[in-house]
Amino acid sequence: MAVYLCHEQPDLYEHAATVVAVRPGALALDRSAFHPGGGGQVSDTGSIETPAGVVAVATIEIERAPDGDRWWHVLAADDAGDGAEPAAPGEAVVVRVDAGHRRRVAALHTMSHVLNAFVFDEFAGSLVTGAQINGDGTGRMDFDLSAIDNDRLRALEAPVNDVIGRALEVRAVYVSADEAAATPGLVRSLSVAPPPTPDGRLRLIDVDGLDRQACGGTHLSNTAESPPFRITKIENKGKRNRRIRFTSN
């Protein structure tokens, strides 16, 4: 499953699946609309309805295997601890992705692209050195920036909120790796490599007229869907790094 089902069908929150493997506290399914996380973004959460009842999914772990990756749906502690397996291989289940969690993460992640675009423009090509988007509507981005006044970073909150007000369309587009390599600024992160597709194409997220960058995460389809964006803290992390903490709660 090198191309994510949630990329192909972003509005799919419930679907049937078959259990392909079981281990204590986790189920592997033949298909899943869960986003597995990555690049600092937490995975989707949700539930699986099995013949024995509904179990909560805390996170996804992908086990690489030559005959196809296994997507382990790791159960929340309450559902994983009693020793009894909730399902057996071959059984049919219903997968449900928590839409509220997906939306919170997608909103914050989309606005982190917008923030990144303003930092990149304002501070001459500054790269991202780390990022984290949490399920509780908070996140952070680290930038390779030295010797600048933190008030200039704080001031970027206003233009980010302007972009929410301007209701810009957000699209996923695919380009060849060669095309991507020939376009400066597409891969802006020093630490986050987006997953390539089986045919070598790269997934780009295009915030209309503002930003275009390689990314495998979940995003809104329009910036107007985001709650207001707030920068909560700016920290110096070593000589060359600034950490911007933000929220859309």
Judge contact between 161 and 230, C-beta under 8 A.
no
Cβ nearer to Zn ion, comparing 164 with 205: 205
Cβ nearer to Zn ion, comparing 135 with 217: 217
**H or E segment and range at residue 177:** helix 177-181
Q: How far, CA to CA in Å, does 99 sit from each of 86, 176, 214?
A: 23, 31, 24
Q: Return the range that interacts with Zn ion (CB under 5 A); candidates 50-58, 74-82, 161-169, 202-210.
A: 202-210
Judge contact between 226 and 110, C-beta under 8 A.
yes
**Contact set for Zn ion, span 90-109 (CB under 5 A):** none
Judge contact between 146 and 119, C-beta under 8 A.
no
Altogether, the residues listed in the chain come to a count of 249
Indicate the SS3 state at residue 233: strand
d(CA 125, CA 129) in angstroms, rounded, equals 12
Nearest to 48 by CA among 83, 76, 21, 24: 76
For the bound state, the minimum distance from the C-beta of residue 81 to Zn ion, rounded and expressed in Å, comes to 34
d(CA 6, CA 4) in angstroms, rounded, equals 5
Cβ nearer to Zn ion, comparing 44 with 85: 44
For the bound state, the minimum distance from the C-beta of residue 112 to Zn ion, rounded and expressed in Å, comes to 7
Question: Residue with CB nearest Zn ion?
Answer: 215
**Contact set for Zn ion, span 213-242 (CB under 5 A):** 215, 217
Total residues contacting Zn ion (rule CB under 5 A)? 3
Cβ nearer to Zn ion, comparing 75 with 205: 205
For the bound state, the minimum distance from the C-beta of residue 107 to Zn ion, rounded and expressed in Å, comes to 12
For the bound state, the minimum distance from the C-beta of residue 214 to Zn ion, rounded and expressed in Å, comes to 9
For the bound state, the minimum distance from the C-beta of residue 155 to Zn ion, rounded and expressed in Å, comes to 23
Asked whether position 170 contacts Zn ion by CB under 5 A, the answer is no
Cβ nearer to Zn ion, comparing 49 with 206: 206
Contacting positions for Zn ion (CB under 5 A) = 205, 215, 217
